[in-house]
Structure 1
């Protein structure tokens, strides 16, 4: 069941990226890095070769090179995502044979295209996968030139945007570079939102009832600390737990019922790893 959910989310993420490519970026010649950007550039010179087909050819070629040069470091989910992206783009191109764009305004196309793409990529990354392509080229640069992966990714995408500028003009090339820069920030922002949890400290005389509710009803763990109030000089217990937003609302409503004088502090946890949340070591 877990695998079905993971691959379902990867498929959803890839579908969003494909929507962005087919209806926003490609019709406006915005080659925003990666194998997608390369495919858009090649397609402009050889229209008979669809973007989806070009992406599929490049993905297969790059995976073969990766296995030869850097070994088997790309998991099944990454291979699935890369090939699925090429396949979905190919299908959408059949649905949109006239290369119709949702908008021909370059600014709007860049903003909405990269927004939709970033959400899709974040969903894929959040499942410990990627769409391959640029990642593979970056890892090859890392192996032979000892560049950091982040810098290698930026170099690859920057080179693609230079070719975009040479092919479609400086203005479109600048939009492509703008998309490359914004995309990274947006992906990080969306991933933080997807993984956001609440870490909660509770001081209450009814800590036993609250802890039982957390364990039995919310199916979460909690930790109890002993503490002493400096102002009152009285000892008590402090509960610590981490919950998602929905669970926190349930807990807050429960605490209202059992102890209206409870003291609660809540802060955002941008990422939580461990039992009940995201695995510390995820597989690709």
Structure 2
């Protein structure tokens, strides 16, 4: 193992450990003691803990076992390895922290807000290194491979929604279900802000010149769920014909893209630029921009009509 690869593995572990720790702290300090099931596998585990006293971390791990097996069979062990580490870390830390993390049972609004912050930061640290915490997001990704017409976001929202609705009956409190919605809203907004920045329509533009761009492209499509464009090119000095790969990614995906490029061809010639505005599938919708512009123009017209 070369030094750079060892350094990246260490960073992976530290990020996953930090993410699991923040997430576990949020579960034990805010959601679990206040009977808030904010969707996903952890929400199910929280309800089972309330009804039967089962350890939340253990249940999270057991539910994720068949999901991980499915993922390994579907996309291979290598692509699931980091997620397996993240699941183990979060499961262990949730149960470990339950013994010494103090529970906050004060203002329920503060509970929901800080629970959302902990969940958002914890998951973001995990996502940044190309892993997930299993559960509904992994199920959605796996179903998306077989049923590409299904929206991953809508599928995850539906599953989380079912958990939240079920929690209202399990805990006998509609208010707790409403607080769970606040947790989900805060965490998703925070994840978007950390991973995508303040503008979801920006990213990084990559031009890659290498005899192995086809291999890179196949991995980018399969492992990152991003597409690429191959451009015919010709070297000005050598006169050799070849291909240049064009790819646009979000900022948090840069690490994974660079890793794929290095693994396929460490001598690849790469040009990286800022993509100030990106519209289309996987980024910002051009339709929503047109709608916003029309609304702005109409508002200005209405304002101009006023005496």
TM-score by length of 2: 0.60
| Deviation for aligned residue 1:174 | 1.1
Whole-angstrom distance in 1 between the partners of 2:252 and 2:184: 28
| Deviation for aligned residue 1:101 | 1.6
Whole-angstrom distance in 1 between the partners of 2:127 and 2:49: 27
Whole-angstrom distance in 2 between the partners of 1:75 and 1:170: 37
1:175 aligns with 2:179: yes
Structure 1's unaligned 5+ residue stretches are: 200-269
Whole-angstrom distance in 2 between the partners of 1:128 and 1:184: 17
Q: Which has the higher contact order (CA 8 A, sep 6+)?
A: 1
CA shift digits 1:211-270 (9 cap, x unpaired): xxxxxxxxxxxxxxxxxxxxxxxxxxxxxxxxxxxxxxxxxxxxxxxxxxxxxxxxxxx8
Whole-angstrom distance in 2 between the partners of 1:160 and 1:140: 20
Give the counterpart of 2:136 among 123, 134, 137. 134
Residue 186 of structure 1 is matched in structure 2 by 190
CA contact (8 A) 1:28 1:104 kept: no
| Deviation for aligned residue 1:193 | 5.3
CA contact (8 A) 2:71 2:80 kept: no
Residue 7 of structure 1 is matched in structure 2 by 13
Residue 55 of structure 1 is matched in structure 2 by 60
C-alpha spacing 1:162/1:140, structure 2 compared with 1 (3 Å) = farther
| Deviation for aligned residue 1:141 | 4.1
Whole-angstrom distance in 1 between the partners of 2:192 and 2:163: 22
TM-score by length of 1: 0.64
Residue 44 of structure 2 is matched in structure 1 by 38
1:25 aligns with 2:31: yes
| Deviation for aligned residue 1:140 | 4.6
CA shift digits 1:133-170 (9 cap, x unpaired): 11222235433584111111111111111111111211
Whole-angstrom distance in 1 between the partners of 2:252 and 2:116: 27
| SS of the residue 2:105 aligns to | coil
Residue 304 of structure 2 is matched in structure 1 by none
Question: Comparing 104-113 with 144-153, which one deviates more in the overlay?
Answer: 144-153
Residue 83 of structure 1 is matched in structure 2 by 88
| SS of the residue 1:43 aligns to | helix
Residue 271 of structure 1 is matched in structure 2 by 251
CA contact (8 A) 2:132 2:138 kept: no
C-alpha spacing 1:272/1:6, structure 2 compared with 1 (3 Å) = closer
Give the counterpart of 1:72 among 70, 76, 86. 76
Whole-angstrom distance in 2 between the partners of 1:52 and 1:42: 11
Whole-angstrom distance in 2 between the partners of 1:145 and 1:189: 26
